[in-house]
Amino acid sequence: MRPSMSPSRCMAMATLNPVITEYQTMKFGFLQTAACTPDLKVADCRYNADQILKEMKAVAEEGTLLAIFPELCLTGYTCGDLFLQDALLQGCERELTRILKQSETLEPVFILGLPLRHGQKLYNVAAVISRGKLLGLVPKTNIPNYAEFNELRYFTPASAENQLIQYCGQEVPFGTGLLFCCDEMPLLRLAVEICEDLGVPVPPSAQAAAAGATVIVNLSASDEIVGKDDYRRRLVTGQSGKLCCAYLYADAGSGESTTDLVFSGHNLIAQNGRLLGESAPFSGERCTAVIDLEECVNERRRMNTFPADCEGVYNLIPFSLPLRQTRLRQPIRRNPFIPEDGRILAERCEKILAIQSAGLRKRITHVNAASVVIGVSGGLDSTLALLVCVRAMRELKRPLSDIVAVTMPAFGTTRRTRNNVVNLCRALGVTLREINITRTVKSHFKDLDHDPEQHDVLFENAQARERTQVLMDLSHQVKGFVVGTGDLSELALGWATYNGDHMSMYGVNASIPKTLVRYLVSFFAETDSNPKIRKTLKDILATPVSPELLPAKEGQITQLTESLIGPYELHDFFLYYLVRRNFSPQKIKRMAMTAFEGAYQEADIDHWLIVFLKRFFNNQFKRSCIPDGPKVGTVSFSPRGDWRMPSDAMVSEWLASLEMKS
């Protein structure tokens, strides 16, 4: 037995090559991965090696750079007492040597399972391979010996100490404390666990993640019984979420012995609690996915409860991968705030509305409000806020007449939006008041010696501030408070008049992006039993988004928000990845080009991303003093909790990143 690896030797092995700045994150931390279940024959090492090599070459041709195979796949998991036979173990070492030789020209890192005879013991190990080199052998820590499992009959649990051993003609690190680190991609730190290791109360991957591992791979032979696929899926996604990592799981398949058990080849790839891909049980398919290591690292950096790197018990093993841009294979959702599955979306809408109404109920009861006052314009935001007020009052078992909805027409108000307000309020049964502010605003213009034909910022903002003044004073009159209607997207862009629609006593939409506002109103339109309400909501959904502050022409809206500041679907995409994921604008642009391919040209994405960044930085002062409002998702701008940013921060570094070579 070779001596243990000393700390000094560990540090020597961990010295990584200098990295070219342009490629420091291998094109933004994206890495194409695969979990494979090749065909096999029990105890036929040569056949199994042939199938493994066939799969290795196939994934390499597809551009995959990390591929894993099941537990004991070189022999088969179900060899039983044959594991104790010298002939099988000799054949295993011979075929792994052949695999190493034929993988010299293949770019990916491969990890496969085999039995290893070391000293006088037998270990269930994972072999980590890179370009013909055996980087390390990681033994299984937790050996199951219950129910259908009897692995202790053959295998010894891993020892606590890393060692150097001879195998396949190479000197190889052997132990559980091995982290495999990519020279060209410092974010890629790889750790291995095997099957049962994931199922114990404190899996080895927890310590590995604390030591900096961003990718955990699991070589498994999990037999199939009723309900186990769902359990397996929850286990893998849950661990990836807890550890803020990518988790690859390769499962034994149908080539295993069926004497007592059946294996389905259920392969899974998850990241940060999300399932990125899986192969259906018994399908025989490999599972592929592009993981995002920047997202993992940024999430850990954001969470101050995630342990700091503790590399003391780990040996760092360097390896190399080619520098190239990873093709984003799986689709990137255009609407990151909105689930694609219709059932999940309906559940999400119901949950959000429950949170909004619960927050409003608490505020109503706390201040003992006789009413709530809300300005309604016939637009999406005020409609959603009104519907939340209705829900809250119903839950409080109070009359809906305690909701005072106020429409305040002026220069840009169209008949369509006004009619929608009247029809909706009447159908709901809330109190409706109309206060025309045209005369008051004109008087204000006169006081300021402002030409009312000059349609500038003053012309627009005077209307917004007058409306807020009316609402505030009216709330005193009716012994209530003002419910705000502005949404998260408007806060991000600063698309609100300071101390105008920017201000209220409680903003129920403050953490809901515009794209999601539309779905919430649509949810009401589809589920309400009143046909008049459904009809009105559908027309509101079909109305162009506009503040209606500029005079209408021939009764039509002239001021279209998205033609002025850009499409909300783009801005919400930028918002999510800038604030929630902390990605660079350069990376956000690349993702947007993939997500919106065919919908926007690169020049359009460039233009609106620059608009977003400039508005986001220039308007922080509006977010620094926003009213209370319920947080409903992972992005919020409350200055009291989620978002603290100086109002005079410069945008130059963010704009400069867009000028870097993509």
Q: Answer for the pair 184, 321: CB distance below 8 angstroms, yes or no.
A: yes
Residues in the chain: 662
- Residue keyed to tokens 């199938």: 51
Confidence at residue 550, expressed as pLDDT on a 0 to 100 scale: 86
Please report, for the chain, how many H helices and E strands are present, in that order: 20, 20
Q: How far apart are alpha carbons 117 and 123 in whole angstroms?
A: 6
Residue 10's pLDDT is what?
38
The question of whether 168 is a catalytic residue gets the answer: no
Q: Determine which one of 27, 140, 587, 589 is catalytic.
A: 140
Residue found under tokens 């291998």: 26
In whole angstroms, what is the distance from residue 150 CA to residue 446 CA?
A: 90
- Which residues does residue 292 pair with via DSSP β-bridges, in sequence order? 30
Instruction: Identify the CA nearest to 321 among candidates 62, 66, 27.
Output: 66
Please tell me the predicted confidence (pLDDT) of residue 6: 42
For the record, the structure tokens of 390 come out as 């209705």
Contacts of 466 (CB under 8 A, 6+ apart): 408, 437, 440, 441, 444
Q: Which two tokens stand for residue 635?
A: 């992005």
Question: Which of the residues 71, 256, 299, 460 is marked catalytic?
Answer: 71
Q: Would you call 54 a catalytic residue per the annotation?
A: no
Strand partners, 93: none
The 3-state DSSP class for residue 265 equals: coil
Q: What is the pLDDT of residues 64-122, one digit of tens each?
A: 999 999 999 999 999 999 999 999 999 999 999 999 999 999 999 999 999 999 989 99
Position 327 scores a pLDDT of 80
Helical residues (DSSP H) of 499-601, grouped into ranges? 514-527, 531-542, 561-565, 568-575, 585-595
In this structure, what token pair is assigned to residue 193?
């666990």
DSSP code, position 159: P
Domains and CATH numbers, the chain: 7-21+28-319 (3.60.110.10), 342-658 (3.40.50.620)
Q: How far apart are CA 571 and CA 562, in angstroms?
A: 10
172: nearest Cα among 132, 141, 205: 132
Q: Active-site residue among 168, 181, 195, 245? A: 195
Distance CA 463, CA 644 (A): 30
In whole angstroms, give the CA distance from residue 470 to residue 409.
Answer: 12
Predicted confidence at residue 660, as pLDDT, reads 61
Q: In angstroms, rounded to a whole number, what is the distance separating the alpha carbons of residues 238 and 464? A: 47
71 is catalytic: yes
> Which positions of the chain have pLDDT values less than 70?
1-26, 309-312, 660-662
